[in-house]
Amino acid sequence: MLYMQLKVTKNWVTIGTGVIANELAVAMKSLNGKLYGVANRTYENAVKFAEKYGIEKVYDEIDDVFTDPAVDIIYISTPHNTHIHYLRKALAAGKHVLCEKAITLNSEELEEALQIAKENNVILAEAMTLYHMPVYKQLRKAAEKLGELRMIQMNFGSYKDYDMTNRFFNRNLAGGALLDIGVYALSCIRYFMSEAPSSMVSQVKLAPTGVDEQAGIVLTNDAGEMATVTMTLHAKQPKRGVIAYDKGYIEIVDYPRAHKATITYTEDGHVEIFEDELGLDALAYEVLDMEATIDTGEDHMHLEYTVDVMKIMTDLRREWGIKYPEEEEV
Please provide the CATH number assigned to the domain covering 131-283+309-327. 3.30.360.10
Span 304-308, average pLDDT: 98
State residue 1's pLDDT score: 54
* Residues contacting 293, CB < 8 A, separation 6+: 123, 125, 299, 300, 301
- Is the per-residue pLDDT at 92 higher than 60? yes
Judge whether residue 14 has pLDDT over 90: yes
Mean pLDDT of 314-318: 98
Q: Is 39 in contact with 90 (CB distance < 8 Å)?
A: no
Average confidence (pLDDT) over 210-236: 98
Given a cut of 70, whether residue 162 has pLDDT beyond it is yes
Does the structure show a pLDDT above 90 at 186?
A: yes
pLDDT greater than 90 at residue 329: no
Mean pLDDT, residues 40-64 taken together: 98
Confidence band for 330, pLDDT divided at 50, 70 and 90 = very low
Can you tell me the distance from the alpha carbon of 72 to that of 66, in angstroms, rounded to the nearest whole number? 10
Whether pLDDT at 5 is above 80 = no
| Model pLDDT for residues 238-261, shown as the tens digit of each residue | 999 999 999 999 999 999 999 999
Q: What is the pLDDT of residue 6?
A: 86
Assigned CATH topology for domain 12-127: Rossmann fold (3.40.50)
Tell me the pLDDT band of 25, cut-offs 50, 70 and 90: very high
How are beta strands 149-159 and 234-237 bridged, if at all? antiparallel
What pLDDT was estimated at residue 2? 54
pLDDT 10s digits, 277-291: 999 999 999 999 999
Question: Residue 22 pLDDT > 90, yes or no?
Answer: yes
User: Does position 317 have pLDDT exceeding 90, yes or no?
Assistant: yes
Q: How would DSSP label each residue in 194-238?
A: SS---EEEEEEEE-TTSSEEEEEEEEE-TTS-EEEEEEESEEEE-
User: What does the DSSP 8-state code read for residue 40?
Assistant: -
Q: What are the residue boundaries of the structural domains of the chain, listed by start?
A: 12-127, 131-283+309-327
Q: What is the pLDDT of residue 235?
A: 97
What value does the mean pLDDT of the chain take?
Answer: 96
